Amino acid sequence: MIDLFDKHKPMVERRDAMIAAGVEPFGLTIEEFVTPTLGIIQGRQTILAGTNNYMGVTFEKQCIEAGKKALDDYGTGTTGSRVANGTYKLHKQLEAEIARFMDKKHCIVFSTGYTANVAMMAGLAGPRDTIYLDSDSHASIYDGCAVSGARLVRFRHNNAADLAKRLERNKDSSGGQLVVLEGMYSMLGDRAPIADFIELKKKYGFQLLLDEAHSFGVLGPNGRGAAEEAGCYDEADFIVGTFSKSCGAIGGFGVGNHPMFEAIRLASRPYVFTASPSPASVATTLEAVRLLAREPERRDRLRENADRLFNGFKGLGLELGCDVSSPVIAVKCPDEEAAVGIWKGLLESGVYVNIALPPGTPGNECLLRCSVSCAHSFEEIDKIIELFGDVFGQFQGASQPGRE
């Protein structure tokens, strides 16, 4: 009899080797928060540069108070799905607020950002349809394709010409065609060349879904994402986003203008059979969205911080994930040993960033991934740059031949 865990042995051995070396990057605990950008990790005050708290709303008083009130008014949870007993007044209010913010006619709120992608794709596509995915798409997008039963066709990352070849080969397909892009990619921080894909949409007539998880609230004049920033917002048929980044909560949404959009509520199993978001989380999200709408200066500050960190890293000569400033800034490492060692050195020096290793990275790169917040002070940004310079310098010096 084969043990079902046998297939996990290489992964477990890899993790155990890290722990033996004094590193546990995938189970790190933030013991206490000092501010949205400072925490206590392993007993040390640490700059948090890997939390995705782009808009710094996690400790906003009005969001916290709204969550407390929802607990008093609605209790701790809904105990049901949206199509059973799990739709509360707050869910409807949040959907209306997101629709206004995104300037779309329809909105559906989901329990997590992951579920939002899976549910939207499962509701839109079926076994007779084809979904075209950027090869660097998030796991939730791949999983959404699997749940939908649709045929999967991958195209090269951010390569409209490669997508065009694949669309041409399937131009006589009898089913529907859905192309899925991310506005800003979560690992490297690069944007999709959305305008190039829109030209293909006009030619081939597919429907377009944009995952704006990391760009909702962050990019564009009104915070609607990368499509708005690129000047082609109205060309996207469907937009998916999450509340776990810019809104500092949990949940996700899908929006669109299609007259039959509401059919997704009954056609998508991940929506029908998932308990609805808890009232406290919905209430904090509702206040966060309103805050993002009335304080666009947060996006200005985020851009300033991102530019400062990006230019600082460039000044150090570090190899970055993309050549454009972004709230997600990934630093490439030569191999896994270097990535783990530098990550550990940074943490011990007082800065926490994400470590991303193959096979879950684009091009099997070993990355140290920073996410910038508008709540970071310039002093904190400069300290991050200083520590990266110190730790990378120490590692490079130690790795020179003849050095110990």
Asked whether residue 403 is assigned to any structural domain, the reply reads: no
Instruction: Answer left, alpha or beta for residue 112, where phi above 0 means left and psi between -120 and 50 means alpha.
Output: beta
CA distance 373 to 27: 22
Q: Are residues 284 and 330 in the same domain?
A: no
User: Is there a contact between 284 and 66 (Cβ–Cβ < 8 Å)?
Assistant: yes
Question: Residue 207's pLDDT is what?
Answer: 98
Angle at CA of residue 138, ends 193 and 306, nearest 5°: 60
Asked whether residue 48 is assigned to any structural domain, the reply reads: yes
Q: Which helix (H) or strand (E) holds 59?
A: none
Q: Are residues 201 and 214 in the same domain?
A: yes
Q: What is the side-by-side order of every strand in the sheet holding 38-41?
A: 32-35, 38-41, 44-48, 351-352
Asked whether residue 252 is assigned to any structural domain, the reply reads: yes
Q: Are residues 84 and 134 in the same domain?
A: yes
Q: Are residues 367 and 329 in the same domain?
A: yes
Of 147, 143, 119, nearest to 267 by C-alpha is 119
User: Is there a contact between 138 and 182 (Cβ–Cβ < 8 Å)?
Assistant: yes
For residue 41, give every residue at least 6 positions away whose Cβ sits within 8 Å of its Cβ, in sequence order, or none. Answer: 28, 29, 30, 31, 347, 352
Determine the straight-line distance between the first and last CA of the chain, rounded to whole angstroms.
Answer: 48
- Among residues 241, 269, 294, which one ends one of the domains? 294
Asked whether residue 248 is assigned to any structural domain, the reply reads: yes
CATH number at residue 336: 3.90.1150.10
Question: Residue 401's pLDDT is what?
Answer: 40
CA distance 350 to 128: 52
Pull the structure tokens for residue 152: 């999967």
User: Is there a contact between 158 and 324 (Cβ–Cβ < 8 Å)?
Assistant: no
The three-state secondary structure class of 365 is: coil
Asked whether residue 108 is assigned to any structural domain, the reply reads: yes
Query: How deeply is 307 buried, as exposed, middle or buried, from its count of CB atoms within 10 A (0-12, 13-18, 19+)?
Result: middle
Q: Are residues 276 and 318 in the same domain?
A: no
Asked whether residue 392 is assigned to any structural domain, the reply reads: yes
Q: Are residues 30 and 122 in the same domain?
A: no
| SS3 annotation, 292-335 | HHHCCHHHHHHHHHHHHHHHHHHHHCCCECCCCCCCEEEEEECC
Q: Are residues 140 and 271 in the same domain?
A: yes
- Among residues 273, 294, 315, which one ends one of the domains? 294
- Give the count of domains, the chain: 2
Pull the structure tokens for residue 107: 């909105």
Question: Residue 402's pLDDT is what?
Answer: 40
Would you write out the chain's pLDDT as a tens digit for each of its 404 residues? 999 999 999 999 988 888 887 778 888 899 999 999 999 999 999 999 999 999 999 999 999 999 999 999 999 999 999 999 999 999 999 999 999 999 999 999 999 999 999 999 999 999 999 999 999 999 999 999 999 999 999 999 999 999 999 999 988 888 999 999 999 999 999 999 999 999 999 999 999 999 999 999 999 999 999 999 999 999 999 999 999 999 999 999 999 999 999 999 999 999 999 999 999 999 999 999 999 999 999 999 999 999 999 999 999 999 999 999 999 999 999 999 999 999 999 999 999 999 999 988 999 999 999 999 999 999 999 999 999 999 999 887 665 444 33
Q: Are residues 317 and 352 in the same domain?
A: yes
Asked whether residue 404 is assigned to any structural domain, the reply reads: no
Q: Are residues 101 and 14 in the same domain?
A: no
Q: Are residues 290 and 315 in the same domain?
A: no
What is this structure's pTM?
0.94
Q: Are residues 76 and 199 in the same domain?
A: yes
- Among residues 294, 323, 344, which one ends one of the domains? 294
Q: Are residues 153 and 218 in the same domain?
A: yes
Residue 365 lies in domain: 6-58+296-398
Asked whether residue 1 is assigned to any structural domain, the reply reads: no
